Amino acid sequence: MIGIDWGTSSFRAFRIVDAGVTDRIASAFGIMQIAENGFEAHLRQAIGPWLAAGETRILMSGMIGSRQGWVEAAYLPCPADTASIAEALTQVPFCGCDLRIVPGLCGTDTVGTPEVMRGEETQIIGAGATGIVCLPGSHSKWVRVSACGRIEGFETIMSGEIFAALRKQTILGRMMPEAPHDNAAFDRGVARSGEPGHLLHHLFGVRALGLFDRLAPEQSASYLSGLLIGHEVRAYLLPGAPGSAHVTLLGSENLCALYTRAIIHCGGTASTGPADAAASGLALIGSMTRWT
């Protein structure tokens, strides 16, 4: 089969034989880079050689199933496990093939506000992660997974996108030259996130510390990153509560390293899942699919 993880800003395709990846393609042609109605042609071209070699089963996950994607794949409500996800695939006409899209998941937070994910469910399944799982990114997901691998619920935190917006659009960014990551400044930001006061107040401190030469301009971005990730981690990590202080991280090596650092600083422990979680998840869901 062929597995495709098609997100907002990236396209990754895997040729999968006996649950193992035998070939792969990656490009920056995320759904935002493809013209409307251009998905079919792009896919046919990208995986043409594999189709020519006889592959007919294709499973896609990620934002390709969103309203801005190829065909909208309805959200499946949590709790959801691999079997129920494999039952809820959306078929897409694609001449000569059986092409399906993995549903995103929806849920509600503790007071009923809706929550959505697309693509992360496939990574979680592929990693075999349980307990508290965090997928850091522009919109980080904090997911509760039962011991049997069922996704019970999750919440989204916008720290990544907010970091970028603060840097681009506010007075904080005007004092932030491009500079290499500074672990000491990052740690100071994480520590600050545990002090009294609201995040909206802590943010002004980035500027005030700079005004009084207590934070160098080239340290500011790392400090701000630590401040935001620290607030995020503290909202979900509850050291002392049994089983709630360990986090499984799924994401880029760089982001996972930052989150590990912050989680340890806040009294928790972290492990990082496998790099190919999306491919493994597509293979697993595919193995439970009744293909035509």
- By CB under 8 A, residue 292 contacts its own copies: no
In the complex, least distance from residue 283 CB atom to its own copies, rounded to whole angstroms: 29
Q: Strand 2-6 to strand 11-17: parallel, antiparallel, or no bridges (unpaired)?
A: antiparallel
| First CA to last CA distance, the chain | 13
- By CB under 8 A, residue 250 contacts its own copies: no
Pick 196 or 242: Cβ nearer its own copies:
196
- Pick one of 65, 205, 268, 286: the residue that binds its own copies (CB under 8 A): 205
- By CB under 8 A, residue 170 contacts its own copies: yes
Task: Find the angle CA(176)-CA(181)-CA(184) to the nearest 5 degrees.
Answer: 100
Binding segment toward its own copies, per CB under 8 A, in 20-28, 40-48, 200-208, 251-259: 200-208
Pick 77 or 149: Cβ nearer its own copies:
77
In the complex, least distance from residue 92 CB atom to its own copies, rounded to whole angstroms: 21
**Rg (Cα) of the chain, in Å, rounded?**
21
- By CB under 8 A, residue 290 contacts its own copies: no
Provide φ and ψ at 52, rounded to 5°. Answer: -60, -30
How long is the chain? 292
Per-residue DSSP letters for 18-36? TTEEEEEEEES--GGGS-T
- By CB under 8 A, residue 93 contacts its own copies: no
**CB neighbours of residue 252 within 10 Å:** 12
Torsion of CA 154, 185, 180, 250, to 10 degrees: -20
DSSP H helix total and E strand total for the chain = 11, 14
Do 30 and 8 contact (CB within 8 A), yes or no?
yes
- By CB under 8 A, residue 114 contacts its own copies: yes
- By CB under 8 A, residue 36 contacts its own copies: no
- The label of the residue with tokens 């189709």 reads 51
- Pick one of 28, 147, 211, 241: the residue that binds its own copies (CB under 8 A): 211
- 8 vs 137: CA distance, rounded Å: 12
Number of residues that bind its own copies (CB under 8 A): 42
Pick 44 or 201: Cβ nearer its own copies:
201
In the complex, least distance from residue 125 CB atom to its own copies, rounded to whole angstroms: 22
Binding segment toward its own copies, per CB under 8 A, in 79-87, 109-117, 123-131, 216-224: 109-117
Chain residues binding its own copies by CB under 8 A are 109-111, 113-116, 139, 155-159, 161-162, 164-166, 168-171, 192, 195-201, 203-205, 208-209, 211-212, 214, 228, 231-232, 235
